[in-house]
Amino acid sequence: MNALLSLPSLYQFRLVLADISPMIWRRLVISSETSIAQLHKYIQTAFDWSGEHLHSFHIHGKDYGIAYLGGISFDDNPRLVGCLAPICSGGRGAAPGEEYAGPLAYLQRLERHRCEFPFEELGTMAVVLRGWLDAEPTNG
């Protein structure tokens, strides 16, 4: 009976990217023993990001995060601060790449692709394909 009492709790989060329509979201289920550093890694994985942008978590009036050289610093070590078995149990929409400077830049690019034929991207694909076709076969 005591073994059941020592099991960690599970928390479910719904993460929504602000100011983007149609909505892009993920649902994560994580352990109560998950650190903020681990939570950050799970969010990056769920949205297929690599952590290029600075970030912080604001929890009960206090900011937490991972300090970067030249970036913001925090009082607590995020690898030791417990937050809330990562599982992505739902989601919708492809996440914007980290190269976009916010929701407006992402939405503008989507609109451009809806209205204009992507000649530049097609040209890049043609160059790559031509190089592949012209390559000498290798024995292997």
- 5 pLDDT tier (thresholds 50, 70, 90): low
Instruction: Give tens-digit pLDDT for 40-85.
Output: 888 888 888 887 776 677 777 877 766 666 555 556 655 555 754 5
Residues 92 and 107 in one domain: no
Residues 58 and 27 in one domain: yes
Pair 83, 59: CB distance under 8 Å: yes
Residues 110 and 60 in one domain: no
* Letter string b/e over residues 80-89, b meaning 16 or more CB atoms within 10 A of that residue's CB: ebebbeeeee
Residue 76 sits in a domain of what CATH number? 3.10.290.30
Q: Which residues contact 34 (CB under 8 A, 6 or more apart)?
A: 42, 82, 83, 84, 86
Is 139 part of a structural domain of the chain?
Answer: no
Residue 125 burial by Cβ neighbours in a 10 Å radius (0-12, 13-18, 19+): exposed
Instruction: Give tens-digit pLDDT for 82-133.
Output: 754 566 677 778 777 777 777 888 888 878 777 777 777 788 888 888 887 8
Number of domains the chain is built from: 2
- Which residue range is the domain that position 113 belongs to? 101-134
